[in-house]
Structure 1
Amino acid sequence: MSDQDTPRDNEGQQPEEELRRMLEQLLGGGMINPNQLAGVAGLPADPQALSQMLMQLQQAMMNPGDGVNWNLVRDAARQAVTDNREVTKQESQEYDQALSVAQLWLSEVTSVGSNVLIEPPRAITRYEWLNLSLDTWSEISGPVAESISRALVEMLSEQAPEEYREMIDRSTPMVRSMGQAMFAMQLGQVLGQLAKEVLSGGDIGMPVLQNGQAALLPQNLSAWAEGLELNFSEVLMYFAVRELAHAHLFVHARWLRLHLVSAITEFAREIRIDADRIEDAVSGLDVANPEELKQVLQSGQLIPPRTPEQEVALERLETMLALIDGWVDVVTRDATSRLPNADAIAEMVRRRRATGSPAERAFGSLVGLELRPRRLREATSMWSLVTEKLGAETRDSLWDHRDALPGAEDIDDPFALVERLSGGDKAEETDELDDELARLLGDPDSFGEAPEGGETQKDA
């Protein structure tokens, strides 16, 4: 290769410096309009906030580090929550009383509610939800961010001309850091949107608050209940019971949280970037139109089809989330039977969950992971049947160990599950044995002829 074909290298530093300057110019040198960038990525429109986030992105490129910058995630999330309000003293007392009564109601229908929570349940603000959930999001999203960064480096290395691959290989830490920083900015926006929508600590199907704390968000719950034409005290009691049921389940089944995190990590491990798919998706776009670009990003078109391994991991995760929410639905239904409008509230909850919130859809477009179970109604029916036929004690005992938990086939055929749990197969074998014994006793000739005179082999 001639000198003209080789990128300039000033003691091994020039190519990286050129790449860094190019990226910095794209981000802050006027080549990309900040307002357009905000519209495309869903970043804050406030110029000061956007400038601060772009500066953090530049710092990530200049000072590559390992992992996601969670300060950047927190800052982006707080920027997205523009109307946080504190919990009033009256609300705090009202919610504490509802949670206390809910604990009594719950203890009447399930033994799972007898476990003591690490932290007392309480009402929290949107900012508190962010701060208390950040460690969990770090655990869940860390592997996702790492997979995306790795895929970005692999794509650049594969797609770059041969003469630039050595430069990209040496710039890998910077490219990886940039990818993680961009992921952090988008994730922060998603979490900020979630903070404005979640009603409780377990609202997304798994415990995200620190120490698995049970909590309700008065600001969001009040906003959601507006227009339902229902007594708010009933809505509050329903969600207090539901949140405690969810929190106690994860205290009872301590293996459950790790199982969910492992399933998400397994899904993230298979994330890849399809360069051809990206090229096809953006080839006809008007790059000067932020709305058109934003639509492509939010649609998930840039996420490649799931691999067979991802399909298996996603099916396992969806089944587990359906089992969790289905159990919580049944226990909440039984515990709130005193409420005149419990069924109406439950139906509103199901509709809200079925449609999915904007934040949930954003998270799905970000990593291609659907957090809402598709089989909730079937799982709820299964738990209802087990409760009706075998009782709450048998139902709850299935959470004692992971191997005892029903699977997808049990959701498909709950009657077979009930038969198995009730010893149906053994009972059938016992009935056949009893019939055979009765036949033998009723017909002595069936035993055959006994040796005459009690002859033994020795006498013979």
Structure 2
Amino acid sequence: MNEFPFGFNMPNPDDRDRGKQGGDGQENPFDQLGQMLSQLGQMMSQASTSSGPVNYDLAKQIAVQKLAGQIGFTAPAEAHTAVTDAVHLAEMWLDPVTTLPAGATTTKAWTARDWVEHTLPTWQRLCDPVAKRMAGAWVEALPAEAKAQAGPLLAMVGQMGGMAFGSQLGGALAQLGSEVLTVTDIGLPLGPDATAALLPANIEEFTKGLERPASEVMVFIAAREAAHQRLFAHVPWLRQRLLGAVEEFANGIKVDISALEELATQVDPANPATIEQAMQSGMLEPKTTPEQQAALTRLETLLALVEGWVDLVVGEAVTDRLPGADALRETLRRRRASGGPAEQTFATLVGLELRPRRLRAATALWRLVTDQHGIDVRDGLWAHPDLMPTTEDLDEPIDFIQRLGSSPADDPIAQLERTEEAEREAGEEKKPGGETD
């Protein structure tokens, strides 16, 4: 987080001459004060027009401000051409190794600012549950008589809370935007439908320590993005399952009211910084409930299955064509499985670390399915969530392979229908007196 919260920054040394009076070399403190008051006035104006638990206008403003000095606001024309060519080549290489057709109808070269703007609607969906729970907890912590007396003050505290969340979100988005390589880099469908987007400036920075040609890395990253887009475009239930699991986890957050009561004595509603400090103090660290743990397990398993499938099909598509493919695969596996600053930043937004902890196990399972039953059966499992491997299947992949049947032509949908029919029959047999519907 910026140590000067809510968009305040240290004065620019290049602007000092403007703060001098006459020729005495002394800075005019009123100039700095005027600038700070101007910023504060703009922020309060935004807070007064913002609705909801998070000031997303402020979040975007802070993210763009922090990114302004790092990465240009527009990608050069040659970057657009390089991205388009890389995605086109990757799609041709992917076609023979999966039954899922190309999912992206649009290819983009984004800057970090583009990424912030185009993913913000999804972040709003993911962050609102957390912010609502926290905002509601603040009100719950107040005694009844205090609520009655507070009146308009509660609305002001709500605005300040929205600004605090907006400030935190803006800083987090700036960090993520400076690190992600593609729009699907953290495993979630954050961007517009059917849009493959790569961030050339970030990929260039990522390439520096790899000792591989930039064009090779670009095609490899493009293949991963294209593979993700095939899943998100042609597996109708996947997007909702992934985002729904994050929302379910966030909705289950429970705040320690006693900790809030203690922190209430340290918060000055007129000072946004004290609210932000309270949120980051650690005293509000939520306890993970059994329901949240179940949602987290489902999310981690599904993320691992997505990333494992992408890892496998991209490997099959590029290994014989790119000399450094194996090294790049291993680098990306470690980057996703171990978690880095991006995953830690995500944890500050929705309260969980977005890591596919079973990535290698998932890749191994998809490899076994492919070897034993072929591409059609492997990709056919994505037709319905009930067909997908479970957490237990990642532990015992051989059992899962055997349940798929010995015939490569065995239809997973037919298996699902047979299973559902057997469950219905079993349910009818258990009814008293042998009654049937």
**Interval containing the TM-score (normalised by the shorter chain):** 0.7 to 0.9
Residue equivalent to 2:435: none
Q: Which of 204, 207, 227 is matched with 2:186 structurally?
A: 204
Alignment deviations for residues 115-151 of structure 1 (CA, whole Å, 9 cap, x no partner): 443x412322111111111111112222222222112
Residue 231 of structure 2, aligned match among 249, 255, 273:
249
- Tell me the equivalent position of 2:307: 325
Residue 336 of structure 1: how far off its partner (Å): 0.8
- Report if aligned partners of 1:204, 1:371 keep a CA contact under 8 Å in 2: yes
The yes-or-no answer on 1:100 pairing with 2:72 is no
1:363-382 alignment, distance < 5 Å: 363-382=346-365
* Aligned counterpart for 2:71 among listed residues 84, 91, 116: 84
Corresponding residue SS for 2:126: helix
- SS of match in other structure, 1:417: helix
Q: Work out whether 1:176 is the aligned partner of 2:140.
A: no
Pick from 122, 127, 131 the counterpart of residue 145 of structure 1. 131
CA positional deviation for 1:180: 2.3
CA distance in structure 2 between the aligned counterparts of 1:273 and 1:229, rounded to whole angstroms: 47
Which residue does 2:368 correspond to in 1?
Answer: 385
Distance, in Å, in 2 between the alignment partners of 1:260 and 1:310 is 14
Pair 297,366 (structure 1): closer, same or farther in 2 beyond 3 Å: farther
**Match 1:348 to one of 328, 331, 338:** 331
1:4-55: per-residue Cα shift (whole Å, max 9, x none)? Answer: xxxxxxxxxxxxxxxxxxxxxxxxxxxxxxxxx9517595634699766644
Question: Are 2:343 and 1:360 equivalent residues in the alignment?
Answer: yes
SS in 1 for 2:106: coil
| Alignment match, 1:409 | 392
Aligned-pair CA distance for 1:357: 2.8
Q: 2:97 aligns with which of 105, 109, 114?
A: 109
Are the aligned partners of 1:323 and 1:380 in contact in 2 as well (CA < 8 Å)? yes
Partner of 1:45: 9
Equivalent residues of 2:6, 2:62 under 8 A apart: no
User: What displacement does 1:107 show?
Assistant: 0.2
Instruction: After TM superposition, give the deviation of residue 79 of structure 1 in Å.
Output: 1.3
Shift of 1:184: 1.4
CA contact (8 A) 1:67 1:180 kept: yes
Distance 2:399 2:280 in 1: 42
For 1:222, the equivalent position in structure 2 comes to: 204
Shift of 1:224: 0.7
3-state DSSP of counterpart to 1:197: coil
State the AA in 1 paired with 2:221: F
Work out whether residues 250 and 351 of structure 2, in 8 Å CA contact, stay in contact via their aligned partners in 1.
Answer: no
Shift in CA distance, 403/168, structure 1 to aligned 2, threshold 3 Å:
farther
Bigger Rg over Cα: 1
State the identity as a percent: 40
Match of 2:382, SS? coil
For this pair of structures, how many residues does the alignment match?
375
Give 1:45's aligned amino acid: N
Give the conservation status (yes or no) of the 8 Å contact 2:59–2:170: yes
Q: Could you tell me which residue of structure 1 aligns to residue 413 of structure 2?
A: none
**d(CA) in 2 for partners of 1:369, 1:423:** 40
Alpha-carbon offset, residue 177 of structure 1: 3.2
Quick one: structure 1 residues 356 and 298, their matched pair in 2 at CA, closer, same or farther if it must change by over 3 Å? farther
Name the residue aligned to 1:448: none
CA distance in 2, matches of 1:326, 1:51: 51
When structure 1 is superposed on structure 2, of 178-187 and 168-177 the one drifting more is 168-177
Shift of 1:297: 6.6
Matched residue, 1:10? none
What TM-score does the superposition give when structure 1 sets the normalisation length?
Answer: 0.74
Is this contact kept in 1: 2:347–2:353, CA < 8 A?
yes
Query: Which is worse superposed, 239-248 or 120-129?
Result: 120-129
- Structure 1's unaligned 5+ residue stretches are 1-36, 284-292, 428-460
Instruction: Answer whether contact 1:43 1:50 (CA < 8 A) is retained.
Output: no
Question: 1:132 touches 1:210 (CA, 8 Å); kept in 2?
Answer: yes
Distance 2:281 2:366 in 1: 35
Cα displacement (A) at 1:103? 0.5
In 2: Cα distance, 1:95 partner to 1:50 partner: 41
Offset at residue 402 of structure 1 (A): 1.6
Supply the AA of the counterpart residue of 2:311.
Answer: D
Q: CA deviation at 1:218?
A: 0.5
Moved more, 43-52 or 235-244: 43-52
Secondary structure of residue in 2 paired with 1:214:
strand
Distance 2:63 2:131 in 1: 16
Whether contact under 8 Å (2:370, 2:378) holds in the other structure is yes
Is contact 2:58–2:167 with CA below 8 Å preserved after alignment? yes
Do 2:365 and 2:394's aligned partners in 1 also have CA atoms closer than 8 Å?
A: yes
Q: Which amino acid aligns with 1:89?
A: A
Is the 8 Å Cα contact of residues 129 and 250 (structure 2) preserved in structure 1? yes
Give yes or no for the alignment of 1:260 onto 2:248: no
Which AA in structure 1 matches 2:128?
Answer: G
| 1:137–1:208 contact (8 Å) kept in structure 2 | yes
Secondary structure in structure 1 of the residue aligned to 2:133: helix
Give me the whole-angstrom Cα distance separating, in 2, the residues matched to 1:309 and 1:210. 30
The residue type paired with residue 353 of structure 1 is R
Q: Do the aligned residues in 1 keep the contact of 2:75 with 2:111 (CA within 8 Å)?
A: yes
Any unmatched runs of 5+ in structure 2? 12-31, 266-274, 411-437
Using structure 2 for the length normalisation, give the TM-score. 0.77
Residues 357 and 140 of structure 1: CA distance in aligned 2, closer, same or farther (over 3 Å): same
- 2:9 is aligned with what amino acid? A
The residue that corresponds to 1:395 in the other structure is: 378
CA-based RMSD: 3.1
Against the structure 1 CA distance between its residues 132 and 163, is the aligned structure 2 distance closer, same or farther, given a 3 Å change threshold? closer
Which string of whole-angstrom CA distances, capped at 9 and with x for unpartnered residues, describes residues 213-235 of structure 1? 11111100000110211122211
* 1:415 alignment partner AA: I
CA separation of 1:296/1:197 partners in 2, compared to 1, >3 Å: closer, same or farther? farther
- Superposition deviation, residue 111 in structure 1: 1.2
Tell which deviates more after alignment, 358-367 or 41-50.
41-50
Code of the aligned partner of 1:323: L
Aligned equivalents of 2:293 and 2:312: distance in 1? 28
